[in-house]
Amino acid sequence: MGDHHDTGRPVLSVRGLRVDYQLDPPVHAVRDLSLVLRRGEVLGVAGESGCGKSTLAYAVNRLLRPPAEVVGGSVVFHGPDGHDTDVLALTGEALRSFRWRRVAMVFQGAMNALNPVLTIHTQLTDVLAAHEPGSRRRDRARRCAELLSLVGVHPDRARSYPHELSGGMRQRVMIAMALALNPDVLVMDEPTTALDVVVQRDILRELGRLRERFGFALVLITHDLSLLLEISDRIAVMYAGRVVEEGTATRLLTAPRHPYTTGLLGSFPSLTGPRQDMRGIPGQPPDLTQALDHCAFHDRCPHRRDVCAHQRPPLGPAPAAGEHPTPGGGEHPTPGGGAHLVACHAWHPDRYGAPAPTALRHGTFRPTHTAEVVDP
């Protein structure tokens, strides 16, 4: 996105990425998606199941398997020395050494991410052996112990098998493994889904601490928007394979601009905020085999008007300070963050044919009685 005027140097740029699952008919899981990740920032990617979050994560590390296929766009890694790498063009040995050293990943569900038949030690040291072929066995063992103590796991546990560890410990081991090569980017796909909230909290605190120490950029992919709001610098909300809203966590919490974001915010209790009514978002995500030339959210949107069903809203700057009820924000870039972007017709009175609905401006999502457009 060219309209980010930011000081943090980018580490990963995704431009116009399109990923299809080559089924019959093809499923367009990621559609013309652009995102920039800056060094050291925490970027949250939120959205319902099936909106393309995980597909995006896999595409970035070239882990898509048939029938999934990147059909367009680019992923560029900006190295610490200023050298750019076209990730989608990497093959063989170059791809192998790019993985984990540059972008490490922790996958959905800590429970299955460790090989059940190998000890923790083996799984931690084989990544070192693969990337540092000249290293000595004794050095690798020492590094393994270091990494484990780094995440608060006793080094003796290296001799254990995954089934002998608790879920929280397994997740810590995964994080230790992810940090083994001191990567520039750490992508976590639903990192805490299988854990209870107390362990979740510990792990996230641990992650924050490690990030301060090592300075990696963190991409957190989850459907849990309330969790993202607490720890992310910036959040991208995905719907039907596209980013529909992107902005700093503060902006998204205080002044969400997309009806979908307000809906998501309304469906999760905040861990720290005041009590509020919780509402779901009625309806289903759209069929991803369709072209979706209109707003993909329109049939679930309480604010829909004619234009929403015929024209796709582009991702553009969210309305400035005067137009919304909370002070501050607008186009001013925040440290480590970017501009607030939204893809919704309601903020363009000329296209929408009416001023932005009050409920939307207040960031509330009332699926039934405040719907401002009657069904045709």
Partner 1 sequence: MRHLRRKLAFYLVALWAAVTVNFLLPRLMPGDPVDALLSRMQQTGGAVSPEARQALEVMLGSGGQENLAAQYLTYLGNLLRGDFGVSATYFPTPVSTVLTQSLPWTLVLVGLSTVVSFVLGVTLGALVGWRRGRWSDALVPATTFLAAVPYFWLALVLVFVFGATLGLFPLTGGYDYGLEVGFSGPFLASALHHGLLPAITIVLSSVGTWLLGMRNMTVSTMAEDYVLTAQAKGLRPRRVLVTYAARNAVIPSLASFAISLGFVVSGSIVTEAVFSYPGIGFTLLQAVQNNDYPLMQAVFLVITLAVLGANLLVDLLHAVIDPRTRQTGGR
In sequence order, which ranges of the chain are alpha helices (DSSP H)? 53-60, 92-98, 120-131, 137-150, 167-178, 197-214, 225-231, 249-254, 259-267, 349-352, 358-361
231 closest CA partner among 267, 194, 188, 195: 188
Q: Which residue has the tokens 């002998």?
A: 164
Binding to partner 1 by residue 99, rule CB under 8 A? yes
Binding to partner 1 by residue 320, rule CB under 8 A? no
Exactly one of 82, 116, 134, 274 binds partner 1 (CB under 8 A); that residue is: 116
Binding to partner 1 by residue 117, rule CB under 8 A? yes
CB of 58 to partner 1, least distance (A): 8
Binding to partner 1 by residue 89, rule CB under 8 A? no
- The size of the interface with partner 1 (CB under 8 A), counted in residues, is 32
| Percent helix, strand and coil across the chain, each to the nearest 5 | 35, 20, 45
Binding to partner 1 by residue 107, rule CB under 8 A? yes
Cβ proximity of 221 and 53 under 8 Å: yes
Binding to partner 1 by residue 167, rule CB under 8 A? no
Burial of residue 279, with CB atoms counted within 10 A of its CB: 0-12 exposed, 13-18 middle, 19 or more buried? middle
CB of 111 to partner 1, least distance (A): 8
CA distance 145 to 149: 6
CA distance 102 to 65: 20
Exactly one of 26, 109, 167, 336 binds partner 1 (CB under 8 A); that residue is: 109
Instruction: Determine the interface stretch with partner 1 among 45-53, 123-131, 320-328, 333-341 (rule: CB under 8 A).
Output: 123-131
Angle between helical axes of 120-131 and 167-178 (0-180°, round to 10): 10
Residues 126-155 that bind partner 1 (CB under 8 A): 126-127, 130-131
DSSP letter (8 states) at residue 357 = P
84 closest CA partner among 16, 176, 9: 9
Burial of residue 374, with CB atoms counted within 10 A of its CB: 0-12 exposed, 13-18 middle, 19 or more buried? exposed
**Both ends of the chain: CA-CA distance in Å?**
36
Residues 45-84 that bind partner 1 (CB under 8 A): 61, 63, 65-66
Exactly one of 33, 114, 153, 252 binds partner 1 (CB under 8 A); that residue is: 114
Binding to partner 1 by residue 113, rule CB under 8 A? yes
CA distance 346 to 123: 51
Exactly one of 52, 68, 100, 298 binds partner 1 (CB under 8 A); that residue is: 100
Closest to partner 1 by CB, 29 or 177: 177
Closest to partner 1 by CB, 107 or 268: 107
CB of 160 to partner 1, least distance (A): 9
Instruction: Determine the interface stretch with partner 1 among 30-38, 122-130, 282-290, 350-358 (rule: CB under 8 A).
Output: 122-130
Q: CB within 8 A of 193, min separation 6: which ones?
A: 108, 109, 222
Binding to partner 1 by residue 177, rule CB under 8 A? yes
Q: Which residue has the tokens 């925040």?
A: 334
Exactly one of 71, 89, 118, 321 binds partner 1 (CB under 8 A); that residue is: 118
Exactly one of 48, 152, 161, 202 binds partner 1 (CB under 8 A); that residue is: 161
Exactly one of 108, 192, 200, 248 binds partner 1 (CB under 8 A); that residue is: 108
List interacting residues with partner 1 (CB under 8 A).
Answer: 61, 63, 65-66, 95-101, 104-105, 107-109, 112-119, 126-127, 130-131, 161, 163, 174, 177
